[in-house]
Amino acid sequence: MKLLIYTNFYYPLPGGTQTVVLELARGFSKRNAARPGTEPIEVTIATQEGRVWSEDGAQPYRIVRAPSASELRRLIREADLVHLAGPALGPLVYCVLGRKKFVVEHHAFLVSCPNGQYFYEPQPSLCSGHYMAGNYRECVRCNSHVVGTKKALVQLPLTGIRRWLCNRAAMNIMPTEWLGTLLKLDRMATIHHGLTDAPSFAASSTSAAAAGSTPVFAFQGRLVPTKGIRVLLDAVDKLQKEGRKFAVRIIGGGDKAELESLKADAARSGANVEFLGHVPDEQLSAVLASVSAMVMPSLAGEVFGMVAAENMLRGKLVIVSDLGSLKEVVGDGALVFRNGDSADLADKMKRVIDDPSIVATIGERARTRALSAFDLDTMIERHVDIYRSVLGPGASKL
């Protein structure tokens, strides 16, 4: 079976969508080798990311970078099934006009929110669902804050077009049940992302806490408003004024002006806050080893919460906002605070400072949940089941 996976974004640019696409492609290739009696799934990845990744040549599948429109149409024609990692307009149109069987895996809110983040810029806060309620003026008002009125007016009908096209997909795949309640598309199925196992850091974190070292909190992600970094810095300011001893590490890059603004806010508090910038994957384990708890204060924009899941797998204590996707992912394996409430976040951080034993206790619970809920092989087989159902009897040997 020839499978074309299309993604706008791919490595060397890091990100959650890229990680999922990579694990799918590798997973199908591994499955082919492990099941010689089944029909192989021959994967081709087509991506608009033109930069070559240092590991491209080591992958057991084909990668086509920055294809022209005609080349992309040819790839779609030649595939038995097209898997779209997001509702990209061009490929959606090509699939529908070419009557090609296709599925869409959603990594954002682009069919129910013009900015794709479910984020209300004027507040800023989680959107109440203006587009789906027909409050289009609010959508334009919201997006005008970021892209200007002209582009905001263009984004509005594009959302409706994407929605119409996705309702022609054979299946719309959601990484969380919560996302499905917001997108409300035809033919939806939920498949949690699968994760490659990682070593547990709980033991090293517990040892550091027991030795009386300063608790370390870390944020990992892009430095953008939806991630709620200012909520974390407000909580840090509150703890600093109480005379608490702790340290904070901010991992991730972003807009230079935003970074400088965040650094200025952190400096005013006088707290021990260090901005580490982007940390390469090969160095991340060493950086996280001494961290007591990961903080994910997202206001919006999360359809799954890969950072939370990956650190749960590491055995880390994770503190997350009560955004629907994050609550679904962490279950009982984390501390949860009210979205946007810096005082509530500060209270959760105080629990870690005052009782270091919960670092290991909740961390172990988190790892147990991650191992069972985000199994990579299960994710692969769930996708194969959907492909079978889409392709019909001819795919029975997959």
Mean pLDDT of 238-242: 96
Q: Which amino acid type is present at position 83? A: H
Looking at residue 281, its pLDDT comes to 82
Taking the complete model, does pTM exceed 0.85, yes or no? yes
Rg (CA), the chain: 22
In this structure, which topology does domain 202-373 adopt according to CATH?
A: Rossmann fold (3.40.50)
Q: How far apart (Å, rounded) are the C-alpha atoms in residues 248 and 105? A: 35
pLDDT of 200 above 80: no
Token duo for residue 83:
């898997």
Closest CA to 81 of 150, 214, 170: 170
**Pairing status of strand 62-65 against strand 81-85:** unpaired
**What's the DSSP call for residue 54?**
T
**Domain extent listing, the chain:** 2-114+148-194+376-395, 202-373
Note the residue count of the chain: 398
Encoded tokens for 233: 């810095």
The two domains 2-114+148-194+376-395 and 202-373 share their CATH topology (first three levels equal): yes
Q: For position 63, what pLDDT does the model report?
A: 97
Q: How confident is the model at residue 209 (pLDDT cuts 50, 70, 90)?
A: very low
The answer to whether 296 and 308 have CB atoms below 8 angstroms apart is: yes
According to DSSP, residue 195 is labeled: B
Q: Which CATH superfamily is domain 2-114+148-194+376-395 in?
A: Glycogen Phosphorylase B; (3.40.50.2000)
For 346-358, how does the pLDDT look when each residue is reduced to its tens digit (9 = 90+)? Answer: 999 999 999 999 9
- Closest CA relative to residue 106, chosen from 173, 45, 195: 173
